[in-house]
Structure formats: structure tokens, C-alpha cells
Amino acid sequence: MTAKERVILPPDPNPHPLKFKLPPLACDTHFHIYGPPHRFPFVDERRYTPPAAPIEHYWSLARHLGLGRGVLVHPAVHGADNWATLDALRRSEGRLRGMVRASTALEDSDLRSLHEAGVRGVRFALVEDGGAEFDSKAFDIVVNRVAKLGWPVCLHVDGHQIAALANHLRKAPVNIVFDHFGRVDARQGVDGADFKTLLDLMGEKNMWCKISGVDRLTQRGARPEDAPPLARALVARAPDRIVWGLDWPHSNVFEHGKMANDGDLVNALLNLVPDEAARDKVLVDNPAKLFDFS
């Protein structure tokens, strides 16, 4: 099977009933859209072929769940072509912000145009299964450019990579956001070495973390009950710098595993952040500040 023949499952179209009501302007800070490919083709060098997941499908889900805002993370299958993301931002009437792939090819004028379109950040994908490596020179070039616009920089890294990056990240003149709990090994719990490194780093005022992709943790061997202690420790450490996301349409699930249900992922917030006031911060106040919603 070639990489492009690795076809992933579509998201579950039937969210389970919610056990609580999301606050007004609740924000999903991490989701993707795919295509539709007849309008926005996938790149040939993609590692997998996703099902079409256009912005219309996401809006239907968001309305059902009560999500008022979202942050669209540009997916790898569209490569450096941002048109699918920009089209969705243009039609969102301010309800969406976007994040694009970090690239030294994006000059100041490009970044200003993206800012006007609703983009509010760049993302480095450095996970080992993605084949990318940390390039400190390229990182600094990108960071110094986006700092002029006040954008955050998201990092998709494996948990064991955080320690080697920590000193460099502390010096960054931007907010740094770790995706998906920093992809630590949740099976090790709050005393795991990688999580301790992440928690220590979260003491810095420019460090943020997404408690997103809970289903990713379980796909990697963790139990559902392993995630809440991590989330609660992160919220206790940095209550003003934690955000949340669904990671729809769950492209981490390929030919194996069980597709996450988005109703269950929202309900999981009751255990991840049991205090209602803290949960409202995670869902509304924190993302509004980080991603410049007004």
C-alpha cells in the first residue's frame, strides 16, 4: 500500500448527546478541513488520502455542539496552498481564525495579507512520523517575522522532543502553543518525565497548551482516564494559557482504531476541566486572547 492509498475514515456523523451546554462563543482551537478535492486538490506528496471534509460539514457540527468560534489549522494534504483555508475564513464572518504552515518563504508582505484574511498563527509540524526536523535558523526567521503581527507559533511535537527545544522556546518573542498535550505519553501520568518537562515549561508566560486530541492519547495506548489528571495539572499551572480543540475530522485514525465521537469529546471536558469557571476560561477567554477574536 502506498502512502496515498492509505485512506482514513470519515468522522462519525452522529455526535452523542451533550451532558452540558457550552458557553456562548466557545472556541474549538484545533480542527482541519479537507477539500472538497474537486475545488481544492490534495498534493501528490501527501502521506494519506482523507475523505472530503469541507467547511460546510464543520459548520453543521459546530452548530449542533454549540461552538461559536474556531481555529482552522491548515492540513498537510493541501501543502503550501492555503486557498481552502482562506476560502473558509472569508466565509466565516469573523467566527474563524486560521493557522498556516510555517515557512521561510512567507515574507512580511505575505504575512500581512494572510493577517487581513483572518490568519493568526503559524504551525511547525516536527513529529517524528512526519519526517521534519527542528531547524533553529528557519524557526528564528519565521518567529521574528510573525512576532511583528503578534501571532502565536504552534508546535506539533512528540513529548520526548520538548526537553531539547525548551531553552530555545523560552527565548522566543512570541506565544508558543503545544498541540495535543504536547503529545506526551499519557500512560506515564503526571509524574512522567516528558510531562514534567512540559509542566515546568508552562511556567513561562509565553507558553500555551492545547488540551486537544484526547482520542490521540488513547490511540497511542493511553486509557480514557489517563487524560484528566494531565489536563487538570496544566490548568492549575497556567489557567490563563490553556485552550481546547476537537481535532476534527480526526485524521490520526487510519486503517485501525475506533473513530472518536465529537459529542463524547465535548463531554470529556467535564472531567478534563471540572470547574465551570475554569472551563469557561479555557473555552472562551483564553482563545479569544490568543487568537485575537474581537
Alpha-carbon gap, residue 4 to 6, rounded angstroms: 5
Catalytic residue selected from 28, 185, 194, 247: 247
> Angle between the 108-117 and 136-147 helix axes, to the nearest 10 degrees?
60
Query: Is the distance from CB of 22 to CB of 65 less than 8 angstroms?
Result: yes
Query: Is the distance from CB of 182 to CB of 160 less than 8 angstroms?
Result: no
- How, if at all, do strands 119-125 and 96-101 pair? parallel
Q: How many Cβ atoms are within 10 Å of 48's Cβ, its own excluded?
A: 16
Q: Distance from CA of residue 86 to its chain's centroid? A: 17
CB-count exposure of residue 79 (10 Å: 0-12, 13-18, 19+): middle
In the three-class reduction of DSSP (H, G, I as helix; E, B as strand; rest coil), residue 154 is classed as strand
Helix ranges, 68-181 (H): 83-90, 108-117, 136-147, 162-170
The answer to whether residue 292 is catalytic is no
Reading the block at residue 266, the C-alpha cell is 465535548
Query: Is the distance from CB of 174 to CB of 143 less than 8 angstroms?
Result: yes
One-letter amino acid identity for 7? V
CA quadruple 152, 153, 156, 161: dihedral sign: negative
CA quadruple 22, 219, 155, 176: dihedral sign: positive
Catalytic sites, residue numbers? 247
